Amino acid sequence: MEAGDARVPVTAQAQAPVPPLQVLWGQACAQLQEEIGAKKFASWVKPLKAETSDGCAITLFAPNAFCRDWVRENLGRQLKRVWSAVDPLCRTISIKAGGPEETRTPQTAAAPGGVSAPSAPAKSDVSGFETFVVDDSNDVAFTVARQVSNGVMASFNNPFFVYGGYGVGKTHLLRAISESPFWTHPARHVRYMTAEEFVYDYVTALRERNTHVFKQAMRALDLLVIDDLQFVLGKQASQEELFHTLNAMTSAGAQLVFSADQAPGALGGLHPGLASRIAGGLVCEIRPASEALRRQILERRVQLLAREYHGLAVPSAVLDIIAEEICTNPRELIGALNTVLSRTAFIGRPLTEDLCREILADLGRDPARKVSIAEIQKAVAAHYEISVEQLLSRRRTRNIVRPRQVAMYLCKQITTCSLPMIGGRFDGRNHATVIHATRQIASLISRDKALAADIKAIRRALMAPQSPQLLA
C-alpha cells in the first residue's frame, strides 16, 4: 500500500453512535463558512436543507435551480470534501432543486422589477445534453458522448477519453452520459466517480482487507465513468488496479469513460498500460470557447433561467459585454452571469451596461491584492509559453517583443512603480522603452481582439483573489 494514495478513511468504531444528520450538517457548515467566508456562505450554503431518505445518501435541497447550479459549479468538490470529513458513515451527498414534494409549497410572488420567483423549480430541472452548447471547439466530443449515452459501444469509442482545460464542459458531458435514460435503466449498473474517489475507495479496501469486494463491484458495472483522471498520477497501486479494472470491464463488454485536463500522452507518470489502453480507444479534446460560443452559452443560460424566473430579460448588449470580458472558460462565464443577475434582476435592480461592467470589474479585483513586477513578468511569460529569461532578454523576434511590451504595459497599468523602475526590471531598459511599449499596446488593443483577450486574461489571473481553498 502506498502512503500517497489517499487520506486515511474516516471509519466509525464498532457500534459507535452516529450523530444526527443535522448535527453533522452543522459541523460541515461551520467548516464551509470558515473556508469561503460569511458573505458567500449566507448567500449560497445557508439556504440548503439536508435530508436523508434511506440513511445511505444525503440530499441537499436548494431553494431553486439557480442556487443548485451555482453550488454545484462553484462549491461542489469543496462541499463533498468537507462532508466526507465529518460524516462517519461516508455517505454520498448530492444537490437538488426544491425539496420533497410533500413539503413543497408553490412560490408565485413577483420580485421587485417584474422577475417572479419560480412556481415549480423541479419541473425546470434541466440536465443532460440540452444545456450543452456546441461549436467546432467541442462538436466531436459532444457527438461521441451522445453516442455513448445511447449505448452505442464500439471498439473505437471504448474507452472514451475527453480532455480540456478547467471548466470547458468535460464533467457536464460525463454526467450527461451516466444520467442518460439508456444507462439509468434498472437493469444496468453504472458508477460515476472522480479519480480521487476511486483512489480513496481502493485504498480503503486495501486497509480493510476486502479488495475482492471492491474488484467484484467494479467488474460488475456496465458503465464506469471516471472524472479528472490526472488525480491518479503518482498513485501507482491505484493506477495498477485501474488498469486491471479497465481490462476486465472491456473484456466483459462494459463501457468506460474518462476525462482529464490533458491528453493521455501529456499526463506524466500515467501507468504505461493504462495510457496505451486509453490511447487505443477514442480521445477527444474540448478546446477553449470562442467569443461566439461564449455568447451562445449565455443566451442558453438566460433561456433556462427564464423558465423559472418569469419576466427575466437580459439586454443583448449586456450579454455581449460578459462574453467579451469573461474569456477564461464557460464555467466562469456562467458564474459571472449568475453574479450579475443576483445583484440586479433578481433583486429588482435595473440591469444596465454600466452596472454590468462595474460588477465584472469587482469580480476580477481583490482590493487586498498587490501585484509585483515579477508576478506580471511570470504571468505574461506563462500565458505566451515562453520563459521569463526570454521575456527579459535582448532578443527582438516578434514572439518575444510583443509579450515583453504587454508585460511593460501591464506593469504601468497595475503597479505604482515609476517608468524608470519598470524599465530597470526589464534588464536595465530605460523609461523611453516603457513609454513606447505602453503606447504601442494601447494602440493595438482597440483593433486587435486577440491581443485584447490576452491582456484581459492575464490581468484577470493577476488580480483574482489568491485563495487556494476555493475549489470553484
pLDDT of residue 174: 93
What are the grid coordinates assigned to 116, written together?
417572479
Closest CA to 285 of 251, 259, 316: 259
Q: Return d(Cα 42, Cα 343) in angstroms, integer.
A: 15
Distance CA 268, CA 290 (A): 29
Class for the domain spanning 136-286: alpha beta
pLDDT digits (tens, 9 = 90+) for 319-343: 998 988 887 778 888 888 988 888 8
Domain at 291-363: CATH code? 1.10.8
Alpha-carbon distances of 467 from 8, 383, 455, rounded to whole Å: 25, 20, 22
Q: pLDDT value at position 107?
A: 37
Kindly report the CATH number that applies to the domain delimited by 373-463: 1.10.1750.10
Supply the Cα-derived Rg of the chain in whole angstroms.
25
**% of the chain residues with pLDDT over 70:** 85
Domain ranges of the chain: 21-104, 136-286, 291-363, 373-463
pLDDT digits (tens, 9 = 90+) for 460-471: 778 665 433 322
Indicate whether 211 pLDDT > 60.
yes
Q: Are 336 and 430 contacting, i.e. CB atoms less than 8 angstroms apart?
A: no
**Cβ atoms within 10 Å, residue 7:** 13
Residue 19 scores a pLDDT above 60:
yes
pLDDT one-digit tens code per residue, 140-163: 999 999 999 988 876 678 899 999
What one-letter code names the amino acid at 259? S
pLDDT beyond 60 at 403:
yes
φ and ψ at 259, to 5 degrees?
Answer: -140, 155
Return the CATH fold of 21-104: GMP Synthetase; Chain A, domain 3 (3.30.300)
Q: What pLDDT is stored for residue 198 in this prediction?
A: 92
> 143 or 398: which carries more pLDDT confidence?
143
Question: Which residues are paired to 116 by β-bridges?
Answer: 110
- Amino acid found at 312: L
For 399-434, b/e burial (b = at least 16 CB within 10 A) is ebebbbbbbbbbbbebbebebeebbbbbeebeeebb
pTM: 0.55
Q: Quick check: 112 pLDDT over 50?
A: no
Neighbours of 224 (CB within 10 A): 24
- Is the separation of the CB atoms in 127 and 133 below 8 Å? no
